[in-house]
A and B are shown apart, each in its own frame.
Chain A
């Protein structure tokens, strides 16, 4: 198994850290105690166990560990060893969820740490559909590629609609149903709002997803959605305070962590451009899928994507963290004066030093079946709106399924 946990602690707590590491190893959960390249070691681990004490708080390297883990979407298991001053406690840490070891590392505390780490080690993967350029197919491919992952590969999937335009929610659900979810304060907006009647308490996060595959006898293999909300635009403008954004980010990470524990894949549909919402998505994701249309402007969007995510994560990125999915290619060569547009785009990306190895083999064809035409009909089972269920289009279905297989492999799911 890969490294399950990275232990972050101050020098004076090294004995406690060793005890925890030994206990984790005894349960088949490899842990990292020391590393030369701490950032890389955190990236390689499935979660970070933070030992909290005044000593750890004063330790600059330990503080850097935490900031790095948060920026890179690593879940954190906080273990309180000794009381720390209220305002000194890193506001980013959700201390309500801390494990209390002030009376020593007793067996129940150690078992609780093992259980938390195991849950993260076995948790599903988070994938963000992202491109700085708009209208490239992020939403429509999120729905269709991961419907293939669900129907053909038996994966349980939970979408999070993180775009104020909430097109993914529109894709699956009628307006009345969305309004009802909104009236119950169960949309993504109620995750972003920390206080008041519009807010949803963290303990209700796991109940937010709406079922999108309503076939009888579905069993455990779910296909669900955390519904989007246009009021999320408040977080893309400058109306919210620093504090409100910090709360929103921490609550959003908590939502993702809770969903990962229940689903094989958590798929976030993100807005175009780069906003605070982009930060939320990028810091919560293991892998980014960037749909690209074969056209001139797409390449700019791709270059900007690398810059934006690098800035958010504060480190050089690896191309294995991305998948580039060509979308809207013609089913036969589109040559103009001996020049094939699709092939030219593919070759340009394939030859690029960074994105070259991120380019997926399968491409999605341009087809009326992926055009989202307005309909005035009822739907009994939302998953049937995807091409995987609606059309007997073998070529399209095969390209969606093989894209799903490649993405899942690259994301390590």
Chain B
């Protein structure tokens, strides 16, 4: 037995009872390497969801400082100007965009986003300059 393996076993002994050690040895003898490694592999990372319409639009609004509910509120406000009162609560940005797109169509929501960004451009960013 090499030094590294002995060290590993010793460190195990510090935290396990003899009964636990025995059941571990038994399991190791019974299984193949592949099975053992698969059992202790770290969980697979969840696949990143493909950027859809709503997440892309939300990303464009990242230039706005402040909570997502504010951005959602402003976006709803722009659409309200042409479509009348909308009873969607300003919560998370992506869910709000999804609901708006379902009700008014992606085209209308994208146009409202362009509109909102153009208005912000006109009112200027918070950046201060020296002359």
Interface residues of A (CB under 8 A from B): 170, 174-177, 214-216, 374-381, 384-385, 389-390
Contacts and interface: CB of A to CB of B under 8 A. Distances in A.
Contacts of A374: 126-128
Interface string B117-131: 000111111111100
Given A176-B124, A380-B120, A381-B74, 5 more contacts: A175-B127, A176-B123, A374-B126, A379-B126, A385-B65
A176 B122 contact: yes
Given A216-B76, A381-B74, A390 B123 contact: no
B80 interface: yes
A376 B124 CA distance: 9
B4 interface: no
| A-B complex: 5 closest residue pairs judged by Cβ atoms | A176-B124, A384-B66, A380-B74, A378-B120, A377-B65
B73 interface: yes
B92 interface: no
Contacts of B128: 170, 175, 374
B1 to A, nearest CB: 52
B64 A389 contact: no
A378 B73 contact: no
A215 B67 CA distance: 12
A174 B125 contact: yes
Interface in B50-81: 63-67, 70-71, 73-74, 76-77, 80
Contacts of A379: 64-66, 126
Contact of A380 (B66, B80, B121, B129): B66
A390 B68 CA distance: 10
Contact of A376 (B67, B74, B122, B127): B127
Contacts of A175: 124, 127-129
Contacts of B64: 377-380
A375 B126 contact: yes
Contacts of A176: 122-124
A376 B66 contact: no
Most A-side CB within 10 Å, residue of B64, B65, B126: B126
Interface residues of B, number: 24
A377 B70 CA distance: 14
A174 B123 contact: yes
Contacts of B74: 214, 380-381
Contact of A377 (B121, B122, B123, B125): B125
Contacts of A377: 63-65, 125-126
A214 B120 CA distance: 14
B94 interface: no
B66 A174 contact: no
B57 to A, nearest CB: 15
26 contacts: A174-B123, A175-B127, A176-B122, A176-B123, A176-B124, A177-B124, A214-B74, A215-B90, A216-B90, A374-B127, A375-B126, A375-B127, A377-B125, A378-B63, A378-B64, A378-B123, A379-B64, A379-B66, A379-B126, A380-B73, A380-B74, A380-B116, A380-B120, A381-B70, A384-B66, A390-B67
Contacts of B66: 379-381, 384-385, 389-390
B11 to A, nearest CB: 38
Contacts of A378: 63-65, 120-121, 123, 125-126
A90 B69 CA distance: 54
A295 to B, nearest CB: 27
B117 to A, nearest CB: 8
A177 B74 CA distance: 17
A380 B126 contact: no
Nearest to B86: A216
Contacts of B127: 174-175, 374-376
B104 to A, nearest CB: 16
B55 to A, nearest CB: 19
A405 to B, nearest CB: 24
B124 A174 contact: yes
A177 B123 contact: yes
A150 to B, nearest CB: 15
A215 B73 contact: yes
B77 A216 contact: yes
A170 B126 CA distance: 8
A143 to B, nearest CB: 14
A215 B74 CA distance: 8
A378 B120 CA distance: 6
A176 to B, nearest CB: 3
Contact of B71 (A214, A216, A380, A390): A380
A276 to B, nearest CB: 27
Interface string B91-131: 00000000000000000000000001000111111111100
B20 to A, nearest CB: 42
Nearest to B124: A176
B76 A375 contact: no
Most B-side CB within 10 Å, residue of A176, A214, A378, A381: A378
Contacts of A380: 64, 66, 70-71, 73-74, 116, 120
